[in-house]
Structure 1
Amino acid sequence: MDGGPPRELISLADDEGNSVTVRVLGRNPRWAAGLDAEIVVKTPFVSGRIDLALYLLRLKSWADALDRLEAGEDVAWMAMSRGPSISIQLTGERGCPEVVVEDESGSMVTVRVPIVPPDDWIADHRRRLRQVMDHWVPMLSG
């Protein structure tokens, strides 16, 4: 790592060029309890990004989602809130995990990305979450 603050909360990618990333951009200048972030989708077919607000409750709900994924359950992260959501289906339509990014309240676009993550991806994402929480949460108020 370059020694800077941790940026990638989620980084799911495969050898086919498909990826879904949630990148922390920094503190939200207008909201002391929030972080500016973005969801970035890249595939050989379609690419895009959407703004995302992160705050402590959303980070904790990502930890819960990782627990459920480890138990073999599909998850829908941020599905009950305004803005984009990310679902992970462990056995998707193509026989591999799929990440579904939905922007129902904004563009009304849904993107389904098949991704075969490495075996240790859940442990890797727990580490990413811990690094993001350790660095960014002490800076947040509320």
Structure 2
Amino acid sequence: MEDRERFTLLRITGKYGGSVAIELDESGAPGVPDSSGELMVHNDFVAGVTRTYVEPYDLAPWEHVLDEVEAGRDAVWREHARVAEIGIRLVDREDDQDQITVTVADQQTTRVAVSLQVNRGWIEEQRALLHGIRKAWKHVHPTALR
């Protein structure tokens, strides 16, 4: 399980249930994640998993989404892209927690919105996961460092 944790790009978990995560598969090289993996969405009503992939050039736009949401603005990652897009809307910000809506939409017909109440440090947790993927990819994908 410890190795699997290193290959998580995104994991937003609500205080009272619900989550959205992207976990990348192991590649042939030890300690290096593959670009393919799974996008998982779960709450009391929906539980879904779909195959996805993340390229090194997807990392900087993900960081931009985190910057935008941290500044209080809605943002979408991989909008109109080849794989499912993920949107984050900050609904409310209180002293120690944020109320957010995470929307996952494929390019076909599926759209799921999950409302999550998260502890205030959730953006820093996402940045740490992003840093972990960048570090793991730094030797095989130099563009991941941007």
Same fold (TM over 0.5): yes
Q: Flag as ranges the 4+ runs of structure 1 deviating above 4 A.
A: none
Q: What does 1:94-133 correspond to in 2, within 5 Å?
A: 96-105=99-108, 108-133=109-134
1:7–1:103 CA distance, 2 compared to 1 (3 A)? same
In structure 2, C-alpha distance between the alignment counterparts of 1:104 and 1:136, rounded to whole Å: 27
Contact 1:101 1:110 (8 Å CA) reproduced: yes
TM-score (ref. length: structure 2) = 0.80
Q: In the TM superposition, what whole-angstrom CA distance separates every residue of 1:40-76 from its partner, at most 9, and x where no partner exists? A: 0111211001111111110111011111111111110
Give the drift of 1:4: 6.0
What is the CA–CA distance in structure 1 between the aligned matches of 2:75 and 2:44, rounded to whole Å? 25
Q: How many residues align?
A: 133
Cα offset, 1:141, TM superposition = 7.5
Equivalent pairs: percent with the same residue? 25
**Partner Cα separation in structure 2 for residue 104 and residue 91 of structure 1:** 25
| 1:31 paired residue number | none
Unaligned runs of at least 5 residues, structure 1: 29-33
TM normalised by structure 1 equals 0.83
2:127 aligned counterpart, secondary structure: helix
3-state DSSP of counterpart to 1:64: helix
RMSD: 2.4
Q: 1:54 to 1:137 in 2, by over 3 A?
A: farther
Instruction: Give the Cα–Cα distance (whole angstroms) in 2 for the partners of residues 44 and 4 of structure 1.
Output: 25
Matched, 1:51 2:54: no
